[in-house]
Amino acid sequence: MPCVDQGHERRARRPRAFTLIEMLVVILIISVLAALLLPALISARERGRTASCQSNLHQLGLAFQIYTNDFDGLLPVSHILPDVHWRNQLHPYVPAAKLGVCPSAKSEVLDPMGWSRGWYCYAMNIDLGARLISSFRFPAELILLAEPREALPCSHSPATLTWVASDRHFKGSNYLFVDGHVAWMRLAQTVGPKNLWVE
């Protein structure tokens, strides 16, 4: 019988180690895949934040509807007065302050009442304050709340809404309309008279 070198057989079965070049090629492939996938992951995360922001606005829209039901169809005062503005008036109808927080907002601002920065994430159309909701001709096209840029006051006139609106969600912004629906739009889509001014 032929003599078998058992040591040689064990050496033959031993797996071959990666060379340095092979390791570098694997690292390069992983890096390329990560670079290709990262934008998609970032986009998916921002889509989730956009949806969360829209949900917040929808809940605030429900709070506005409950408020107007309690006050014979009258919207809260929109502009800031000492202790009287839409945030204070709507506060009892909002189940959680975080509903005012857009998850894509960057600033960490506290208002004078010590509420979270989130109440700076949405601005009410100042022309709509203390008006009967039934008096608007185009409630489905009239903007009630918009997303201003960071750290700006919470109420704006139609003229200023056109330049303070944020573009944090894919170069656009979420808007709550008087009829309660929420939509994403680019700023250029909001400049029509039915969107901002009361007829």
Domain that holds residue 85: 19-196
Q: How many CA atoms lie within 13 A of 164 on its CB side?
A: 23
pLDDT range class, residue 179, cuts 50, 70, 90: very high
Give the number of domains in the chain. 1
3-state SS assignment for residue 128 = helix
Which amino acid, 87? R
The verdict on residue 76 lying in a domain is yes
The verdict on residue 75 lying in a domain is yes
The verdict on residue 161 lying in a domain is yes
The verdict on residue 109 lying in a domain is yes
The verdict on residue 151 lying in a domain is yes
The Cα angle at residue 81 between residues 153 and 61, in degrees rounded to 5: 60
Residue with tokens 């901002």: 196
- pLDDT of 41-85, one tens digit each? 778 888 989 999 999 999 999 999 999 999 999 999 876 655 667
In sequence order, the 6+-apart residues with CB closer than 8 A to the CB of 101 are 56, 116, 117, 118, 121
The verdict on residue 13 lying in a domain is no
Q: What is the dihedral of CA 42, 48, 51, 56, to 10 degrees?
A: -110
First to last CA, the chain: 106
**Global pTM?**
0.72
